[in-house]
Structures are given as structure tokens and as C-alpha cells.
Chain A
Amino acid sequence: MMFVTLSCSLALCLVYLFYNFIDQRRSKSCYILHYECFKPSNDRKLPTEFSVDLINKCKNLGIEEHRFLLRALVSSGIGEETYAPRNILSKRGTLATLRDCQSEMDEFSIETLDTLFSLSGVSPQDIDILVVNVSGMTLVPSLTSRIINHYKMRADIKSFNISGMGCSASLISINLVQNMFKIHKNKLALVLTSEAIAPNWYNGKERSMILTNCLFRCGGCSILLTNKPALRKQAMFKLKCLVRTHLGSSDEAHACCRQQEDDQGHIGFFLGKALPKTATRGLTKNLRSMAPKILPLSAIFHYVLLVNIQKLRATYLHNTAKKRVTMNFKSGVDHFCLHPGGKAVIEGVKRSLVLAEEDVEPSRMTLHRFGNTSASGLWYVLGYMEAKMRLKKGDRVLMIGFGSGFKCNSCMWEVLRNLDDKNVWADCVDKFPPKLPIYPASRNMNGF
């Protein structure tokens, strides 16, 4: 009799432990319910001719800087329909007032959030966690407070305003939400990721700093996340894993992308020559931690085998001709979402991961259509894949972002249902990829 009661109580304990375990696993999951990329109005488009005009009008620049810039513009991979802040396009010039900066942010946040709330059916008062990441600007009150005020969100909302964390900040925000979801059950989180272009336009003539004017464009994305198990059916993506790598302990890596003043006192972003090398190092280190989590055992085993065979060859046959051994990421990943930082970045990652042209096509097309929108670029790339109807249930998407510091962050999403929304690409996705090479302005460059 006693033994029976004992065993029953033990069984109950174990059942409860198991229930607890499953319950925690379920509520720790991070789902994307909806995401909305920002498409500024047509009057904010920045055609190449306008950029050329701007460069020509710039009194600070000498002839060499002109040539350098125009060449950079032509070969940047950026098209005619990227977006700039209103003050750049107006006759007021490139110096932005506080109001310009505030209105740039308001335009993005209000438009994307209005659409997001109406499409998802969630009301602003349901939001429990709000994260905003805009690298190049701090406002008082913070952008999170601006949004809380505009949408009259609840007083017990947990808000976080992240700044200065560069182009990989949207994955850092996702990481923040992921951690919050592990502690707090049944929550809805909103992540807004963007970049302030207006206050960061460089008005000087340093070559290493003027490139950013050619590459960075306006854009942003609002993402609605949840860990409510009940909303799993409506969710688009599930976060499988996220890895952050920081190379800040290396002085060279830390200094390769830095906001600083030039000799004349103009503030701009310095991009050093060590940037590509640092990015490769960061990517390697990050993928070393990421690979075991996302690749099947066979791919890892295959890689280890090949590396060891090469080592043995080198030791015993003195055959030091090294053929690069790379891990086959395509065995564990169906789609690659690479940060559209610039042509060089995309080429670099394509080479490192041994990817095909169609794998990097979404990133290239995003760079062409929207430019480098900094932290939110990854979401435009994701939008492209969705608009092209390539995201099917069960597909795995690998997002890789780079940022100043130097950081390399990556995460893996699992697609939970067939996705077919044309979203921000609706008016142009059928034109991509273009049949001709995308160098639109070279014919106007007159030999530059």
C-alpha cells in the first residue's frame, strides 16, 4: 500500500517535471508574427544624377575626391530608386536640424507601425516589450518614449532604446527580446530597427569617410514578436538560434569602423582598410559557434575529415599546397540573408561561404533597390525572398549581420508556413533580377 502511494507520488513528480520542461520550452520560443519594412514616399527617391549634382556642388571637395566619389557611386551597386532624408533633397542643403531628424524617425515609425497593427490585429496597448535601435542618433525623450506617447502604450511596458551598435543592431535587439521571452511568458514584443541618415551626412572631404554618403540610405523595419504558444499558428518565423561575436578586444578590429571628426571638425564614419579582413575574421569566428547548431552532423563530420586529411597530407607527404576546405552551409541552410552593406561585403561573404549567385541575389537586389539601410537591411532581404515566393514551410533562413565594434551576429529562422506577401517589394519585384548588369549611371560618367 505504502509502496503504491510512494510510486504514485514519484510518478506525479516526474510528470510535473516533464510538464514544466515542455511548458518552459514552449514559452521560450520566439516567433515573428509580422514584419513591415518601410518604403518612403516617391518624392524621397535619390537618383544617381542628383547624387552627382550634390557631389559637384560640394565646395569642400577637390577634383580627386570628385573622381573617387563618382567612381564609387557607379560601382556601388546602388540603383536609382533608393531613398534619402527630405532635407538632403530640399534646397536647404545637407545640414540637418533637430526637427529634420525627428521627422525622419516619425515618418518611419508611424507608417510602419500603423500598417503592422492593422495587419496583425494587435493593438498598441497589448505590447509588453518595446525595443528601438537607431544607431546614429539619440533624442530626449528617447525614440521609445516617442512611440509610447504616440500610441498611448501601457505604463508597465518594458522599453529599451539601443544606440551606437551599428549595422548589426537589429539582431542584437532580437537577442534582447529572446532573452526577455525566456523570463516573461505570454508576451508581445515590438522591435523597430532603423538608421538616422539626416544627422549623419558627412560634409567634409576625407575619402575614408565620404563613402558612407554614397552607400547609406533611408529605411527601417518594424517587427512584431511573441512567445505566446497560442499565436504559433499565425506566426511566420521561429527563432532557432542566435550567436553574437564581438571582436572588440582586438584594437585593429575596434578601430576599423568608427564615428569621428576629421581635421576640419566634420563628423563622419571612418571606414578603415582593415574592414574586409576584420569582417572575414568576425564571420569565421561567428560561424564556428553557429555551425554546430545549424548544420547536420554529416556536414560537420565531412568538414572535419577533409581538414584532417589535409593536415596529414601536409605532415607526411609534405604537400603544402593548400586547397581551402569550407563547410557546406547549404546542407543546413536553405536561404541566406546577408547584410547588404556594399558590393564588397556581399562578394566577401559569398566567397567565404562558397555560395552561388542565386544565394546572394536577394542581398544584391536589396542593395540596388534600397541601398545600405544599415541595421534594417536584413529585413528587406527577407522581404525580397518572401515576395519572390521562395519561403516555404520548413525552410531555414540564415541571417548574418556585421557592425562596428567589430561585431558579427547571426541567427537562424525556421519558416512556419508558406509565405507569399509581396510587402515592400510589391511594385517592383517582378523586375528583379534585371537581365542587364546594374550599372545605371556609367553612361553618364564621361570616362570617370
Chain B
Amino acid sequence: MFHYARKSYYNYIDFVPKLFLLAIAFAISLLTIKESPNHLLNHVSFTHALTWFFLIISSFTLFFLKKPQTIYLVDFACFKPSFVLRVPFAAAAEHGRIILASQPKSYDFSLKILERSGLGEETCIPHPLHYIPPNLNMTDARDEAHMVIFSAMDSLFQTTGITPKDIDILIVNCSLFAPTPSLSAMVINKYKMKSDVKNYNLSGMGCSAGLISIDFAKNLLQVHPESYAVVISTETLTPNSYMGTERAMLLPNVLFRIGGAAILLSNKMSQHKHAKYKLLHVVRTHKGSDDKSYRCVSQEEDKDGHVGIALNLDLMLTAGKALKSNISTIGPLVLPVSEKLKFAANILGRKFLELDMKPYMPDFKKAFDHFCIHAGGRAVIDELQKNLGLSDEDVEASRMTLHRFGNTSSSSLWYELGYIEAKGRMKKGDRVWQIGFGSGFKCNSGVWECNKDIEATKAGAWADCIHRYPVNQPKVVKL
């Protein structure tokens, strides 16, 4: 409670000097209006005119100084894997049967997961993972990163028309692969960017790292005016395929797929008309202080020494709790007054009057037109749909991304946004809510407002298959 009071104090204390000045300005205008216009014109001298002039200039300067910079999303490009890399169910089942021949129980478990995963037949994995057993080495991991990142960057340069030398800020997030030199240095080398580009390489931050990078880029763009920032969100599967047979650690092998996105952000005034979206808010929530939340996704060694990521059974519960935490911060920023009042009344009733009421989940459909929920798995999407009271159409983008591309980790939110655009549903003024979850446990939200009507293009990751969607994926696909 105290924490919220302190936060509100810091948010509103800035207003006091502004209010003071506004009061003065109001008083002056009243005084000037009292005197008749003729009287005014007769008494205007050079000093008067000069003073007026400086007053207007000062007011404008004040206004522009205090106004936070608008951050625009100029465009984004998702990596479109080649058809050659696809892993249909038959291939996955066969590979699993051969690799896990010594552990039939583990094989059955993997198969069951795959049947209920919500993935389709066209998801892709990198070359080395097509081998039996997978051939994991650093050179191949680098090649995978090259393929994904450079392909996305090339598309981005093509659609936006900017050159590599224009980029001032570069942020790369790739959770499980951080070679030296960093992936950001690799991008700078490939595209010969300028020597004072501000680059950062974030790693280990899980599937929500995309929004962390966006938040970081937003902060950097507030400091550096008239700049372009490129955020690259990807995940490299090659070095991290689990080579053991422990059940809890086989899940990522079944769900994670190759993917990546490159996003161009800017605070240039000239992008005001051309940019696709405006960034309204990014809210980050970290539940690491709670031990249960912290342990639900963790990297471990099994008894044979193989390293893999273990997903705990109470992952859904943790995700729900983290989301509630995040909503309590983002709610007040985006909800209309009616919902805020209902929520406040509910809190009052439950906490202060101690009435027996169910916690009220605000209706976010009144605040947002589109939802991009991290395509972590069918269970995640189902759980969030239930929690937020969303319809099937609202979560269609997430489900279809899971079907076509699988769980591409931090870039899944961008594939989902690409789906909504490819379907021609994005209109000017529409608000989008992106929700990402990640190990730690983190829940991050990003709110965008569409800046112009977006037409479905011939380019893009969805261009060749959007006509086949939406698909009705049964709950269990029998293999």
C-alpha cells in the first residue's frame, strides 16, 4: 500500500510547478481580457511586443522540454524459415523413437506432449537438430544465429529503406546463446555499422526478453533524440537441445522452434506519419523474490550430466500470479474510467469492508482491440484466455502462431502481430496488448497504438499461408 502511495506521489509531484504556472497564466489572461482590445492595441510598444514574443517562446520550450518523446515502431520483420527445415509430426515421432529407444516411457511422454501441443506440421528446427543424434557445436550455433538474424535484418532494411549506417542503437536478445564476440558485435560486423553505435547484448532473460529489449530501447531513445534503434529478438536452438531422457526436461525439445524478429524503433519526428505503431506503455514485473515462481523454469543437469531446462508442474499457476501482478500496474494506465471504478469498488469491498466477493478481473476488451499472448504452449494460451475472459477470436493470433511457427520464444509476439496485420485487421487507432512470460519468473506487457491503417503485404512471414488460416486444431492430434 505504502509502495503504491509513494509511486503515485512521485508521479504527481511533477504537476505542482506546472499547475502553479497555469494558474499564473490564467490570471494574466483574465487581466488582459478585462482591458478592451482598442486600449490594448494603443498601448502596445516595442518592449511589450518583445516581452510577448519571449513569453510565447518560453512557454513552447517548457512544453517541449517536459513532453516525453513519442517512440514509434517504424516496422518489423519476422524470420521466415525455409520449408526444408520443417519438422512434421511423422519426422518428430520417428526421430524421437530412434533417439529415445532406450527410454520408451520418455518417448511416450514426448509423443503425448506433441499430440496436445497445438503445433502444426510446418514448424521448423535448425539443420543440426535434424541429425540423429543432433549434432551440436558452436559453429553450427553461429550459423543458425546468422541465418535467422541476417535474414530478418535484410527484410527490415528492405521494407523500411534505411541503411545500416543510420542505426544508432542496437539491442540483441538471445537467451541461451551468448558467444564472444556477442551477437550484437556480429551484426555490427556484418552490416558495417558506425563505430559509435550503442549496442547491448542481453541473454538468459527467457521468453519475455523481447519486451525487456523494447523497454530498454524506449529508455535509450528518451536519452538520444532523433535516433533509430533496432531490437533483434531471437533464440538459438542448436546449442541447447536436451540430449538426455529426463521427462520434465524433454518439453522444450518438443515445443521450441526456430524463429526471430527484427524491430525498428525511432523517436524521429519525421516518422510521425510513416510509422506503423506508437509505443504507449511497457510494464515489467519480476516475481523472482518468490521461491516457487523462481524455480518453475530452471536449467539443470540430469543424473547423466546432460543439461536441459526443466519446467515445473505449477508453471500455469505461477504465470497466472505474475500476470495478476502485472495487471495491477498496467490496469490503471490503460483501462477506461468505468472499469477502474468497478475494480476500485471490488478492492474496497474485499479488502476494507471484508465482503465475500470474487476478485474482479477488469474487462480488457474495453481497453484493447487486439491481444498478442506469448505462444508458449496451448496450456498458456488457454489459461490466459480463461483468466482475462477473452473470446476465441482474441487469442486466434496466438493459437495460429503456435500452429504455424511453434514456440519461437521472445519473437513469438512479433509473429502474432504479423498475423493480425496479414489478416488486414489492424486499423488506425487500434490498441494492441503484448504479454510475454519468461523464466525468473517475469511477466512483461507492452501496449501499442496503431498509427495508420496497415494493409496485408506480399512480403512477410505469413504472406504465403495466411489464406489457410485460421485452422481449427483439435485438442489432441492422434499420432
Contact = CB atoms under 8 A, between A and B. Distances in A.
B55 A246 contact: no
A249 B204 contact: no
Interface string A1-39: 111011111101110110110000000000000000000
Nearest to B52: A6
Given A246-B196, A265-B137, A163 B188 contact: no
A145 B286 contact: yes
Top 9 nearest A-B pairs (CB, nearest first) are A142-B204, A164-B182, A248-B188, A163-B178, A148-B288, A405-B185, A145-B440, A164-B178, A13-B58
Contact of A9 (B28, B189, B212): B28
Given A98-B307, A140-B298, A405 B59 contact: no
Contacts of A164: 178-185, 201, 203
Contacts of A179: 219-220, 223
B89 interface: no
A157 B21 CA distance: 34
Contacts of A251: 189
Interface in B36-57: 40, 43, 47-48, 51-52, 54-55
B195 interface: yes
A140 B204 contact: yes
A249 B193 contact: yes
Contact of A148 (B189, B196, B440): B440
A156 B329 contact: yes
Contacts of A331: none
Interface in B185-212: 185-186, 188-189, 192-206, 212
A233 B105 CA distance: 64
A265 B284 CA distance: 40
B24 interface: yes
Contact of B51 (A3, A156, A166): A3
B35 interface: yes
B188 A246 contact: yes
Contact of B286 (A155, A180, A184, A257): A155
8 contacts: A10-B51, A19-B17, A20-B62, A140-B175, A141-B297, A164-B185, A164-B201, A254-B186
A10 B54 contact: yes
B284 A158 contact: yes
Interface string A144-166: 11001101111111111111111
B366 to A, nearest CB: 25
B5 to A, nearest CB: 14
Contacts of B301: 97-99
Given A13-B58, A261-B139, A148 B286 contact: yes
Interface of B: 3, 10, 17, 21, 24-25, 27-28, 31-32, 35, 40, 43, 47-48, 51-52, 54-55, 58-59, 61-62, 65-66, 137-139, 175-186, 188-189, 192-206, 212, 215-216, 219-220, 222-223, 284-289, 291, 294, 297-301, 305, 307, 309, 325, 329, 439-442
Interface stretch (A48-56, A131-139, A218-226, A348-356): A131-139
Contacts of B27: 5
Contacts of B51: 3, 6-7, 10
A9 B24 contact: yes
A180 B201 CA distance: 16
B185 to A, nearest CB: 4
A143 interface: yes
B31 A140 contact: no
B181 A3 contact: no
Interface string A179-218: 1101111100000000000000000000000000000000
B195 A140 contact: no
A2 B201 contact: no
B416 to A, nearest CB: 23
Contact of B202 (A145, A160, A254): A160
A260 B179 CA distance: 8
B35 A2 contact: yes
A423 interface: no
B289 A152 contact: yes
Given A156-B284, A246-B185, 4 more contacts: A3-B48, A141-B297, A143-B204, A163-B202
A259 B180 contact: yes
A140 B206 contact: yes
A143 B294 CA distance: 12
- Interface size band for A: 35 or more
A30 to B, nearest CB: 12
Given A156-B329, A160-B212, A245-B195, A257 B62 contact: no
A249 B195 contact: yes
Nearest to B194: A249
B216 to A, nearest CB: 7
Nearest to A20: B65
A165 B198 CA distance: 12
Contacts of B298: 140-141
Given A140-B439, A145-B294, A405 B181 contact: yes
Nearest to B439: A141
A186 B288 CA distance: 23
Contact of A17 (B35, B62, B287): B62
A392 B430 CA distance: 58
Contact of A246 (B66, B176, B197): B197
A149 B17 CA distance: 40
Contact of A141 (B192, B194, B206, B222): B206
A444 interface: no
B138 A267 contact: yes
A140 B180 contact: no
A19 B14 CA distance: 13
A138 B298 CA distance: 12
A90 B141 CA distance: 31
Contacts of B10: 185-186
Most central of B215, B301, B440 by chain A CB within 10 Å: B440
A10 B62 CA distance: 12
B195 A141 contact: no
A246 B199 contact: yes
A149 B441 CA distance: 10
Contacts of A260: 138-139
A404 interface: yes
A129 to B, nearest CB: 10
B62 A13 contact: yes
A76 interface: no
B439 A145 contact: yes
Contact of B55 (A1, A10, A250): A10
A241 interface: no
B204 A258 contact: no
A277 to B, nearest CB: 16
B114 to A, nearest CB: 22
A155 B289 contact: yes
Nearest to B66: A20
A239 to B, nearest CB: 14
